[in-house]
C-alpha cells in the first residue's frame, strides 16, 4: 500500500532564467546604435568653428590682418576653435619652450634665418603652443612651419598663413576620429555580441522550457506508476502464489519477481520524495542554505526524468512478467512481443541459407519450435514456468546456431583487427535495437527490461537477436568487401574535423589580412604617393603673357607637331597632349579641378639673377630669396594685363587660376618655374611647394637634346606634375592607432565572416531539414499505401501460410498459425503507428524523433512485405511440387 502522498502539483512549471541577458543584449544593441551614430557624425562632420587670426603689422609678402582674414573667409575652419598669432620675429625661449603665448593658442613666426632657410628641415622653434614645450609635440610644430614655407615657396602670402593654420587645425585641434575603418567595426562589434547574447539566451530559454516540459512528463509518469502500484502488487502476489503452489523448483523465478517488486516500490517512493524536493526548489520555497545551484538543479531534473523512465520500464516489464508467470491470458501478447523481432531477424538470415545449408535447416527447426511454444501459450496449454524454460531453451539453440553461422562468415576482410571488432559489436547492437524499435514502436529499453524480468537473455540484453543480427552484419560486410574496399574507420569524422578547423582558420586568416591592410592604409594614408590618380578635368582655359617670338623655335619639330612655339601654345593641343599622357602612363591623370592657366613668358634678366649649374649643363641656379621676390613681381605684372588672375582681397592668385612662369634666357632657351596657383598647400607632407629645388634649379629647354619639343608639349608635361601635386594636397592624419585598427577590423571581419557562415550553415541546415521532412512525409504516405496492399492480401496470406504450408508442418500447423498471428499483430502495430503519426499536428511532424518513428515503421513494413512475398513463394513451390512432383 502507498506509504506517503505524492505532490499533486503536476501543472506546468516555469522558472525563467534571469532577464540580464535580454537587458544586456538591448544595451549592447543600443551601444552599437550610439557608436554608429557617433561614428557617422565623426566621419561626415565638417569643420564649422572659425579660426581666429592675430597678425602683427609690417609683415612681408602682403600678410596683414585684413588679407589673412580675407583669405580665411569660408575656408579657415576647424573642428575646435583656436587662435593663431602670426609674428615676424623669432620666438623667445619662454614662448616656444615655456608655452607663454598670451591669448593665442598657437604662435607662428614667419621670420627666417639666412643660414637656415627651413627648406630641408623646418625649424620647430618657430611654432609655440600655449602652455606646452614645443618639444612635447615637435612633429606638429615642424609640420605647421613646413606648411607655411611650402605656401611661401608657391608665391603665397596670406594663404601661406592660412595653410599653416589649416595644418594646425588638422593636427592639433581635431579631437575626433574621422576614419570609417575604425567606427564601422566599433559599431558592429556590440551588435554582434548582442546577437550572440540573444542567441545564448534563446538557447537557454529553449532548454529551460524543454527541461520543465520533461519534468512535467516525468511527474505524470511517476503519478501513473504510483496509481498502478496496488494493481501491480496484486499481479505480483498472484504470480508468486501460483509459482509457489505449482512448482517447488520455481524458487528462482519467485525470488526474481519479489526482488523486482521491491526495487520498483523503493524506486517509486524515492522518486516521490525527489519530486517533492524539486517542486519546492522550482517554486523557491526552500531556504537559501538548502537551495541547489543552477547546475545541480539541471542535473537533478535530468536525473529525475531518466529515473522515471527507468521506473516506467521496470513497472511495465514487471507487470508483463507477472502475466507470464501466472499464465494469464496476457501471456500470449507478451511472448508475441518477444518473438516478433527475433523471428523477423531469423527470416532474414534464412534468406542466405545457401551459405550454410546445415545450420539453416537447424535454424528453421528452432524457429518452428519457438512458434509452437507461442501457439501453445495462445491456446492456454502448459504451466507458465515450463513455457519460460522451453522458450529459454529454444533461444539458446538459436544463439548457438547463429554463432556457428558467424564463424562461417567471419574472415579477415570482415574483422581484420580489434578496432573493427569493436565497430562490429557497436553495429550489431545498433541493428538489434533498431529491429526491436521497429517491432515495438520504439520501446527498446522496455523490451530489454521484460527479458530481464523473465530471466531471459543469458548475459545479453536483447538475447539471441544480437546473435542473428551479427550474422546479418557479417554477411553485409563480406558482400561489401567483395564489391569495394571498406571505408577507412573515422575518415568521415576526420574530414568533418578538417572542415570545421578550416571554417575557423580561413576566416581568421582573412580577418588578419583585412586588419593588416586597414592598418597599413591608416598608417600610410598621408604619405602614400604611389596610389592611383583620379583627376579627370581637362585644362579649362589658356592665356599667354609675353612674346612667344622670343623663344627659340623647335630645331627639328616632330611630325604632326606644331612647327612654331607660338602655335604650340594652343589650348586644344595642350589638352590633346594631356589626354595622351593620362592614357599611356599609370602615374598620370588630368587635373583634379577646373583650372585657367596663364603662361607667363618672362625675360629672365629682368626678374632674377641666375648662374649656370656647375654640375648639369641644362640647368640654372636661382637664389631662393630672389625667386620669392620675382614671384611677387610676376603676380603684379600678369594681373595688370589679366586682372582676374589675382584675388584683390589677398593679393594671391585666385582659386581656379594658375600662372606658369617661364624664364626666357638670352639665347631663346627657357626654363619653367613653380606654377603659382590659388591652391593652398596644407595637410601632412603636401607635395605642393615641398620640393623647393624645382623652382631654384629649373631645367633649361630649347637647346641641345631638349630643342626638338615645343613649349606647348613641355607645358602639358608640367601640368601633369601639377595635377599630381594638387591631388596629394590637403592630406590629413587619421587620429587613430594602426594597432587599434588592426584588432578592430580583424575581429570585426572574423566575427562577420563567422556570422555569415553560421547563417549560411543554419539556412542550409533548415533547407536540409525541410527537404528531409517533406521526403519523410512522402514516405509516410507511401507506407499507408503499402499497408493497404498488405491488408487487402490478408486472406490470401492466411491461406498460403496456414492452409497450404501448415498442412504438412511437423508441428501440426501450430507454428504456422503462430507465425500468421504474429504477422497480423505486426501489421496492426504498423497500421496504428502510421495513423498516430498522421494525426500529429503539422508542427510536430518534424524533428529527429518523428523521423525516427517513421523509419521504424518503414522498416517494419519492409519486413512484413518481404515476409509476405516469401510465404507466397514457398506456398507456390509446395503446390507446384504436389501437383507436378519434384
Q: How many angstroms separate the Cα of 418 from the Cα of each of 26, 245, 317, 414, 425?
A: 56, 51, 36, 11, 11
* pLDDT averaged over every residue in the chain: 79
According to DSSP, residue 484 is labeled S
Residue 77 has pLDDT above 80, yes or no: yes
Evaluated on CA atoms 80, 85, 90, 92, the torsion sign reads negative
Cα–Cα nearest to 81, from 181, 172, 7, 16: 172
pLDDT band at 858 (very low <50, low <70, confident <90, very high): confident
Q: How many CB atoms lie within 10 A of CB 296?
A: 11
Global pTM reads 0.57
Residue 650 has pLDDT above 80, yes or no: yes
* Cα distance between the two ends of the chain: 67
CA dihedral (736, 737, 738, 744) in degrees, to 10, reads -80
Cα separation of 807 and 37, whole Å? 91
Structural element, H or E, at residue 713: helix 711-727
Structural element, H or E, at residue 340: helix 331-350
Residue 383 has pLDDT above 50, yes or no: no
Cα separation of 461 and 470, whole Å? 14
pLDDT band at 10 (very low <50, low <70, confident <90, very high): very low
pLDDT tens per residue across span 664-698: 999 999 999 989 999 998 866 677 888 888 889 99
Cα separation of 729 and 725, whole Å? 6
**Dihedrals phi, psi of 458, to nearest 5 degrees:** 55, 45
Angle between helices 138-153 and 158-171 (to 10 degrees): 150
Tell how strand 596-603 and strand 657-664 pair up. Answer: parallel
Residue 27 has pLDDT above 80, yes or no: yes
Task: Say what the pLDDT of residue 328 is.
Answer: 56
Averaged over 845-868, what is the pLDDT?
Answer: 78
CB 619 within 8 A of CB 699: yes
Structural element, H or E, at residue 402: helix 384-409
Give residue for cell 556590440.
190
Tell how strand 83-87 and strand 52-55 pair up. Answer: parallel
Cα–Cα nearest to 707, from 507, 516, 521, 551: 551
Structural element, H or E, at residue 541: strand 541-545
Task: Say what the pLDDT of residue 4 is.
Answer: 38
Over its C-alpha atoms, the chain yields an Rg (Å, rounded) of 49
Cα–Cα nearest to 881, from 368, 815, 873: 873
Residue 8 has pLDDT above 70, yes or no: no
Residue 326 has pLDDT above 80, yes or no: no
The mean-pLDDT minimum among 40-49, 539-548, 769-778 falls in 769-778
pLDDT tens per residue across span 251-305: 677 777 788 788 888 888 888 888 888 877 777 666 666 677 777 877 888 888 8
pLDDT band at 116 (very low <50, low <70, confident <90, very high): confident
Amino acid at each position: 500500500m502507498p506509504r506517503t502522498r505524492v505532490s499533486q502539483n503536476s501543472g506546468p512549471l516555469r522558472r525563467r532564467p534571469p532577464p540580464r541577458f535580454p537587458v544586456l543584449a538591448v544595451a549592447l544593441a543600443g551601444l552599437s546604435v550610439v557608436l554608429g551614430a557617433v561614428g557617422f557624425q565623426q566621419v561626415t562632420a565638417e569643420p564649422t568653428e572659425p579660426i581666429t587670426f592675430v597678425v602683427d603689422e609690417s609683415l612681408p609678402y602682403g600678410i596683414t590682418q585684413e588679407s589673412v582674414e580675407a583669405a580665411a573667409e569660408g575656408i579657415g575652419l576647424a573642428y575646435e576653435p583656436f587662435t593663431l598669432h602670426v609674428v615676424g620675429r623669432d620666438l623667445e625661449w619662454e614662448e616656444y619652450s615655456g608655452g607663454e603665448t598670451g591669448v593665442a593658442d598657437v604662435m607662428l613666426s614667419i621670420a627666417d634665418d639666412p643660414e637656415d632657410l627651413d627648406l630641408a628641415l623646418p625649424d620647430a622653434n618657430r611654432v609655440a603652443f600655449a602652455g606646452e614645450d614645443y618639444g612635447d609635440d615637435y612633429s606638429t610644430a615642424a609640420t605647421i612651419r613646413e606648411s607655411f614655407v611650402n605656401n611661401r615657396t608657391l608665391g603665397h602670402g596670406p594663404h601661406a598663413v592660412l595653410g599653416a593654420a589649416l595644418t594646425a587645425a588638422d593636427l592639433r585641434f581635431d579631437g575626433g576620429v574621422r576614419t570609417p575603418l575604425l567606427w564601422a567595426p566599433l559599431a558592429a562589434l556590440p551588435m554582434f555580441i548582442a546577437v550572440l547574447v540573444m542567441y545564448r539566451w534563446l538557447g537557454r530559454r529553449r532548454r529551460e522550457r524543454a527541461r520543465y516540459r520533461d519534468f512535467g512528463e516525468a511527474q505524470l509518469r511517476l503519478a501513473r506508476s504510483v496509481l498502478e502500484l496496488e494493481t501491480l502488487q496484486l499481479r505480483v502476489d498472484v504470480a508468486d502464489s501460483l509459482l509457489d503452489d505449482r512448482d517447488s523448483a520455481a524458487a528462482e523465478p519467485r525470488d526474481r519477481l519479489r526482488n523486482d517488486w521491491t526495487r520498483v516500490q523503493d524506486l517509486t517512493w524515492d522518486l516521490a520524495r525527489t519530486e517533492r524536493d524539486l517542486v519546492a526548489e522550482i517554486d523557491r520555497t526552500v531556504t537559501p542554505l538548502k537551495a541547489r545551484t543552477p547546475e545541480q538543479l539541471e542535473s537533478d531534473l535530468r536525473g529525475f526524468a531518466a529515473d522515471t523512465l527507468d521506473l516506467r520500464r521496470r513497472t511495465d516489464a514487471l507487470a508483463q512478467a507477472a502475466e507470464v508467470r501466472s499464465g494469464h491470458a496476457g501471456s500470449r501478447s507478451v511472448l508475441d512481443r518477444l518473438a516478433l523481432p527475433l523471428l523477423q531477424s531469423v527470416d532474414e538470415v534464412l534468406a542466405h541459407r545457401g551459405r550454410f545449408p546445415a545450420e539453416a535447416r537447424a535454424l528453421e527447426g528452432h524457429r518452428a519450435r519457438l512458434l509452437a511454444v507461442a501457439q501453445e501459450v495462445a491456446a492456454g496449454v502448459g504451466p507458465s514456468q515450463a513455457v519460460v524454460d522451453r522458450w529459454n531453451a529454444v533461444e539458446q539453440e538459436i544463439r548457438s546456431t547463429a554463432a556457428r553461422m558467424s564463424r562461417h562468415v567471419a574472415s579477415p576482410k570482415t574483422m581484420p583487427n580489434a578496432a573493427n571488432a569493436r565497430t562490429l559489436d557497436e553495429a550489431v547492437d545498433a541493428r538489434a535495437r533498431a529491429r526491436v524499435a521497429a517491432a515495438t514502436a520504439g520501446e527498446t529499453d522496455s523490451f530489454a527490461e521484460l527479458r530481464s524480468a523473465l530471466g531471459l537473455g543469458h548475459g545479453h540484453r536483447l538475447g539471441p537477436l544480437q546473435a542473428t543480427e551479427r550474422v546479418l552484419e557479417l554477411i553485409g560486410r563480406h558482400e561489401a568487401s567483395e564489391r569495394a574496399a571498406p571505408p577507412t574507420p573515422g575518415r568521415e569524422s576526420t574530414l568533418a574535423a578538417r572542415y570545421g578547423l578550416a571554417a575557423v582558420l580561413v576566416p581568421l586568416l582573412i580577418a588578419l589580412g583585412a586588419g593588416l591592410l586597414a592598418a597599413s592604409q591608416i598608417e600610410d594614408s598621408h604619405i602614400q604617393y604611389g596610389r592611383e590618380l583620379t583627376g579627370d578635368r581637362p585644362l579649362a582655359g589658356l592665356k599667354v603673357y609675353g612674346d612667344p617670338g622670343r623663344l627659340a623655335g623647335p630645331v627639328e619639330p616632330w611630325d604632326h607637331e606644331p612647327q612654331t612655339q607660338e602655335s604650340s601654345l594652343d589650348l586644344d593641343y595642350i589638352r590633346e597632349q594631356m589626354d595622351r599622357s593620362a592614357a599611356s602612363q599609370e602615374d598620370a591623370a588630368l587635373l583634379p579641378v577646373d583650372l585657367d592657366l596663364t603662361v607667363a613668358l618672362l625675360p629672365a634678366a629682368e626678374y632674377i639673377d641666375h648662374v649656370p649649374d656647375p654640375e648639369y649643363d641644362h640647368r640654372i641656379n636661382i637664389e631662393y630669396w630672389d625667386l620669392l621676390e620675382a614671384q611677387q613681381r610676376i603676380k603684379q605684372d600678369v594681373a595688370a594685363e589679366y586682372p582676374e588672375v589675382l584675388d584683390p582681397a589677398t593679393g594671391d592668385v585666385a582659386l581656379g587660376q594658375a600662372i606658369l612662369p617661364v624664364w626666357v634666357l638670352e639665347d631663346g632657351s627657357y626654363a619653367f618655374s613653380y606654377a603659382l596657383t590659388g591652391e593652398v598647400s596644407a595637410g601632412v607632407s603636401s607635395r605642393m611647394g615641398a620640393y623647393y629645388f624645382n623652382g631654384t634649379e629649373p631645367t633649361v629647354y630649347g637647346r641641345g637634346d631638349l630643342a626638338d619639343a615645343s613649349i606647348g608639349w613641355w607645358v602639358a608635361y608640367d601640368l601633369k606634375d601639377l595635377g599630381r601635386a594638387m591631388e596629394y594636397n590637403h592630406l590629413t592624419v587619421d587620429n587613430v592607432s594602426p594597432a587599434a585598427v588592426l584588432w578592430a577590423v580583424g575581429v570585426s571581419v572574423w566575427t562577420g565572416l563567422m556570422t555569415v557562415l553560421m547563417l549560411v550553415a543554419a539556412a542550409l541546415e533548415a533547407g536540409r531539414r525541410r527537404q528531409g521532412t517533406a521526403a519523410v512525409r512522402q514516405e509516410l504516405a507511401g507506407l499507408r499505401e503499402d499497408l493497404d496492399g498488405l491488408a487487402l492480401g490478408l486472406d490470401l496470406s492466411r491461406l498460403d501460410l496456414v492452409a497450404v504450408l501448415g498442412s504438412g508442418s511437423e508441428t501440426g500447423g501450430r507454428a504456422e498459425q503462430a507465425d500468421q498471428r504474429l504477422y497480423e499483430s505486426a501489421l496492426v502495430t504498423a497500421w496504428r503507428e502510421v495513423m498516430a503519426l498522421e494525426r500529429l499536428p503539422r508542427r510536430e511532424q518534424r524533428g529527429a524523433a518523428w523521423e525516427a518513428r517513421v523509419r521504424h515503421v518503414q522498416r517494419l513494413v519492409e519486413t512484413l512485405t518481404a515476409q509476405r512475398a516469401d510465404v507466397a513463394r514457398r506456398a507456390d513451390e509446395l503446390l507446384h511440387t504436389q501437383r507436378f512432383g519434384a
